[in-house]
Structure 1
Amino acid sequence: MRIGLPLLALVLAQTPLLAAPGDAPRIPPVASLSDGQWLKGDLHLHSRHSKDSTNNPEAKIIKFAEDTGFDYLGITDHDNHVAGDVAHNTWSDPEFTSKSVILLYGAEWTTERGHGNVFSAKPYDHRRLFDVRDARDAKILAVKQSLGIHLSGNHPAGKDHWGFSFDLLDSLEVWNSAIWPNNAAAILIWDDMLKSGRKLTGRGGSDSHHGTPDTPEQKTSHTAERSANYVGTPTTWVFARTRDAKGVVDALTNGRVSISANPYDPRVELRADRDGDGRIDMMMGDNARPTGKPVTFQVRLVGGGVKGAVYHVRVIKNGEPLGAYDTDPASNAVSFTDTPAATGRSYYRVEVEGPQTPYPQVPVSTVLSGKMIALSNPIYFNFDPDF
């Protein structure tokens, strides 16, 4: 059928135009900075349902988290240890319950091409994901999308590194365990993914497999790794709109996330005034179009920390060092200014070094973390939200 010119013009007028390759992306409004609360937790833990775990029933993990003041946990047992049936193992365990700690539904997707953690606010059919572990990436993506789950790549530069397309992921484990030096290569991979235009949340996870020693005799027999790595080494903070599992998963997906070496170290918050009006209007995870004016960034260290300590803040822009600053002990904050390019993508994130705050429940962890205190997620400019 031929379409007359008037009708064709009407059809075109009502059809959304696709952006040309050189066009700026359509960026949704920046989210509210006040509508939320900071929650702390651990997103990579193994209980007795993982065969390589010892002395670590779910009740022990959850009791430790409750006593230490954590807000949420992701217990992520290896799915291949139970033939994909985490629903009738980790989740159905009578110990999988808490009155104060939010428990996410998830598992460690353990495949020949690497490992990834699944996070969900509600039960889902994990066996469907387990069954496509050897499939092509496109098929895996279709299953992931149909399940409505958050998929996060684990230890991308280490053993069992992520070997699938990074386009499958919503987040990446950039800080695995208390042993900070092992994560330098993961940070490089994260920056590569950010430079490629992927708005990929960085998160932490202790990857703890073993419970804290119950007696002095156990303490002497445990290796340093077992004694040093437990709930909260590192701690992942999320700025959640609601204090529930959905709030945690949504914040993780949206990049409103900060990581600290342990729950007593300060939380780093990166915020910005993008239009020079003196009002902070962006925070980690936000994506905006540059105004052409200089942007003032604010780095705050909130809570915890060593009284009177000076912390060293490194600013990373597009994977390269932009500047380094020392905090004022009185305010625990620094500011810097930069002008994002009017065209093309830009992102800014920060790393913080300084003296470790003691973690009495897991004391050796502070030795292995060295000077690394905290990481922020990026603030983005001109990133395509649909990429």
Structure 2
Amino acid sequence: MAENEAWQMTSDDNPLQINAREGLWLKGDWHLHSRHSDDSTNNPVEKIIGFAERLGFDYLTITDHDVHVAGAVAGHTWADPAYRSDDLLLFYGAELTAPRGHVNIFGIEPYDHQRIFDRRNDRDWDLLALKRDLGIHWSANHPVTSNHYGFSFDLADSIEIWNGPMWPKNAANVRVWDNILLSGRMLGARGGSDAHHGVPDAPELTTPWTPEATANYVGTPTTWVFAEDRTKPAILASLVAGRASVSSNPFNPRVELVADADGDGVAEMMMGDNAEADGGPVRFEVRLSEGGIAGARYGVTIVKNRAPFATLAVDPETRIARFTDTPAAGETSYYRAEITGPQAAYPDIPNSMHLSADMVALSNPLYFNYDPDF
């Protein structure tokens, strides 16, 4: 098969069986600001958490700017009596705000963020040692913005490739990620709303869409994580492994990319998996679930090794698209999926769907012949 060709299976072909794994899909937002960030308005902690609970989110991280409190996030955001939930898994985090860029730090339990803030201008190898000593997750924020990510990606455990609802500005973030993947490095991707302002209690759709408050809030975008169980360690482990996908809002489809690498008709690979390519054909499936518009016609762009590889149509009934390809033996290859189509309505944040244009969701990659230690 030529490099720029793919085979889309007909509806008569048998779908791949899924190799069942223990786990569940959980949705959340990795990047939010409350009133404890000086540039945030109308966004108390209790409002953010209450909104996420009402919408059925599973996990959340409020990542206030540490520079606004001289690094003392533990005494501000974390000490806020409202920073608690019986329904959400709340991570401890902050946005490291440094001259070299912005980083989201995630912790399962409270950690000494002051140490990171005080050493934010250290050399990267010293920060790597500090990260390991504290046992925290280091996530590269919006690498191509005015507050770009300027630290080494060797520090990063994940990368934010979808920041806020406006899709066009995020294409450059995805390009940076593709460059990293093409180099042979496996790096899990996530989204983050980066919301700084609270939505009105009764938002109304206006044209043109003006206040950011009616366009960006919890879940714009939403990151879905496939975790072994509903615990914070499992969620972070899956984020590192790339067992995640991003949707422009929580009512849009969740995308899954799976593959049958050994030809037995069972999809044993899911996003984040790395298999040895032996020169034989591999069957892939793109599956949509968890929302969207019934009967809508969604399109899929398959990206292989940074370049568009195939354009597919999702079957409106099965919500599946299929293709095959032959990853080269002895060479690294990766595949990821981007989903376009109509935006599902987000009633509480109606203007977000306009800003996302037709970009509905994207997947983490499937890998072939990668060195997991790279």
TM class by smaller structure: over 0.9
Q: 1:249, CA displacement in angstroms?
A: 0.9
Alignment partners' CA distance in 2, 1:289 and 1:85: 46
Deviation at 1:291, TM superposition (A): 3.0
Could you report, residue by residue, the CA deviation over 1:266-322 in whole angstroms, capped at 9, with x for unpaired residues?
000001101111011010011111132211111000021111111000000000111
Rounded Cα–Cα distance in structure 2 between residues aligned with 1:122 and 1:37? 22
Give the superposition deviation at 1:344. Answer: 2.0
Match for residue 33 of structure 2 among 43, 46, 62: 46
Residue-by-residue CA offset, 1:347-369 (whole Å, 9 max, x unaligned): 00000000000000100000110
- Whole-Å Cα distance in 2 between the matches of residues 380 and 249 of structure 1? 20
Tell me, yes or no, if structure 1 residue 206 matches structure 2 residue 193: yes
Match of residue 327 from structure 2: 340
Instruction: Give 1:167 deviation, angstroms.
Output: 0.9
Within 2, Cα distance between the matches of 1:366 and 1:56? 21
CA displacement, residues 200-224 of structure 1 (integer Å, 9 cap, x when unaligned): 111100000000113679x99x943
Say whether 1:57 aligns with 2:55. no
Distance 1:107 1:290 in 2: 40
Which amino acid in 1 is paired with 2:179? D
Normalising by the residue count of structure 2, what TM-score does the alignment of the two structures yield? 0.92
For 1:63 and 1:302, how far apart are their aligned partners in 2?
Answer: 26
Does structure 2 retain, via aligned residues, the 8 Å contact 1:45–1:231?
A: yes
1:153 aligns with 2:140: yes
List gaps (5 residues or longer) in structure 1: 1-31
Equivalent residue of 2:129, what SS?
helix
Q: Which amino acid aligns with 1:182?
A: K
Q: In the alignment, which residue of structure 2 is the partner of 1:112? A: 99
Equivalent residue for 1:179?
166
Asked whether 1:130 is paired with 2:117, we answer: yes
Q: TM-score by structure 1 length?
A: 0.89
Partner deviation per Cα, 1:26-55 (whole Å, 9 max, x = no partner)? xxxxxx851110000000000111111011
Equivalent residue, structure 1, for 2:88: 101
Q: Which runs of 5+ in 2 are unaligned?
A: 1-18
Q: Which residue of 2 aligns with 1:276?
A: 263
In structure 2, the partner of 1:379 is 366
Q: Describe the shift of the 1:215–1:373 C-alpha distance in structure 2 as closer, same or farther (beyond 3 A).
A: closer
| Paired residue secondary structure (2:31) | strand
CA distance in structure 1 between the aligned counterparts of 2:115 and 2:324, rounded to whole angstroms: 48
Question: SS at 2:288's partner residue?
Answer: strand
Deviations 1:134-171 (A, max 9, x none): 11111111101111111111111111100111111011
Counterpart Cα distance in 2 of 1:289 and 1:200:
18
Distance in structure 2 (CA, Å) of the matches to 1:283 and 1:123: 32
**Counterparts of 2:32 and 2:70, CA distance in 1:** 18
**Deviation digits for residues 82-131 of structure 1 (CA, Å, limit 9, x no counterpart):** 11111111111110111111101111011000001011211111111111
Contact 2:288 2:320 in 1 (8 A): yes
Determine whether 1:141 maps to 2:93.
no
| Contact residue 288 and residue 382 of structure 1 kept, 8 A | yes
Cα displacement string for residues 232-274 of structure 1 (whole angstroms, at most 9, x for unaligned residues): 0000000011102112111111110100000000000001101
For residues 222-241 of structure 1, the aligned pairs below 5 Å read 223-241=210-228
1:7 aligned residue: none
Q: Which moved more, 1:350-359 or 1:240-249?
A: 240-249
Structure 2 CA distance for aligned equivalents of residues 292 and 251 of structure 1: 29
Matched residue SS, 1:66: helix
Q: Please give the residue correspondences for 1:272-351 in structure 2 after superposition, counting only pairs within 5 Å.
A: 272-351=259-338
For 1:289 and 1:120, the matched residues in 2 are separated by 33
Counterpart CA distance in 2 for 1:195 and 1:292 is 19
Is 1:165 aligned with 2:165? no
SS in 1 for 2:318: coil
CA contact (8 A) 1:312 1:327 kept: yes
What is the root-mean-square deviation of aligned Cα atoms in Å? 1.8
Closer/same/farther in 2, CA of residues 289 and 47 from structure 1, 3 Å limit: same
**235 and 152 in structure 1: CA distance in 2 versus 1, 3 angstrom threshold:** same
Q: Equivalent of 1:262, from 238, 249, 252? A: 249
Of residues 84-93 and 266-275 in structure 1, the stretch that sits farther from structure 2 once superposed is: 84-93
Runs of 4+ residues over 4 Å off in structure 1: none
Amino acid at match of 1:46: H
**Partner deviation per Cα, 1:169-199 (whole Å, 9 max, x = no partner):** 0111100000111101111111001111121
Give the aligned partner of residue 12 of structure 2: none
Equivalent AA in structure 2 for residue 123 of structure 1: P
The equivalent position to 2:343 in structure 1, one of 341, 344, 356, is 356
Checking the alignment, whether the CA contact within 8 Å between 2:31 and 2:104 is kept in structure 1 is yes
Instruction: For 1:122 and 1:273, locate their aligned partners in 2 and report how far apart those are by CA, in whole Å.
Output: 38
Matched with 1:21 is none
Distance 2:211 2:295 in 1: 30
- 8 Å contact 1:275–1:291 — kept in the other structure? no
Q: Distance in 1 between matches of 2:254 and 2:45?
A: 27
Secondary structure, aligned partner of 2:43:
coil
Paired residue type of 1:288: A
Any idea what SS the aligned residue of 1:108 has?
A: strand
Quote how far apart the aligned CAs of 1:225 are.
2.0
Distance 1:216 1:239 in 2: 32
